[in-house]
Structure 1
Amino acid sequence: MFSGVDSFEQPENPKDRQEFRQKLRKVRNEINNPCVKEHDMVFKCLDKNNYDYEKCNDYFENYKGCKNFWGRLRSERRAKGIIPNLPPPEEREKIRAEYVASKKTGV
């Protein structure tokens, strides 16, 4: 299970360790950001439409909704003491599907 930088074996050399940590921070993956796909879709739309933001408004709204959903979930898990605060990528689709199903049934 991923629990941050400490779960990786870090280099002994301080300079190498700093470079290693910078690379980890730059990593755009779903471990740290569950909305990478939505983020990429926004920029594809902007590129396609010559950065006309109005044409990509639906993509922006989708990205905002994604960030809000996972932000609320992260806060709930933190309040309940569940670690990690953000579920691993393999569990996220199930959690999202359960949320959508609960909204459709009004539970």
Structure 2
Amino acid sequence: MPLVTRWLRDPDVNPRLLESDASTRCMNENNYDKERYSSYFLKYKNCRRFWNSVMAQRRQNGVKPPMPTAAERAEILGAMGRLPYRMSALKLFV
């Protein structure tokens, strides 16, 4: 496996790993029928937007590293009590 691929598959580096895998798996299972997997991409987009805002805020505050580790992300989400990016995506389809 190339170094870049291993780096992107590292959960400490990529917070969107679960959403990315779910959207790819859904595309494969539904023969690339866009209507069937659009909700997965919306979840991925919302996840990316959420963690990019966290990263930007940490950069502004001078926190290193800008992207929280997997353990820190679990702590952040636990303090919130829910997954903000998954819930907001589901509300659009109700």
Structure 2-normalised TM-score?
0.77
Query: Equivalent of 2:38, from 44, 57, 66?
Result: 57
Structure 1-normalised TM-score?
0.68
Provide the identity percentage.
32
Deviations 1:69-94 (A, max 9, x none): 10000000000000010111111112
Query: Equivalent of 2:5, from 18, 22, 26?
Result: 26
Give 5+ residue unaligned stretches, structure 2: 85-94
For the pair shown, the structure with the greater C-alpha radius of gyration is 1
User: Aligned residue pairs: how many?
Assistant: 80
Deviations 1:44-102 (A, max 9, x none): 1001100111101110111011100100000000000000101111111121232356x
Q: Which amino acid aligns with 1:26?
A: T
Q: Is the 8 A contact 2:13 2:69 kept in 1?
A: no
Give 5+ residue unaligned stretches, structure 1: 1-21
SS of the residue corresponding to residue 42 of structure 1 reads helix
After superposition, the CA RMSD in angstroms is 1.7
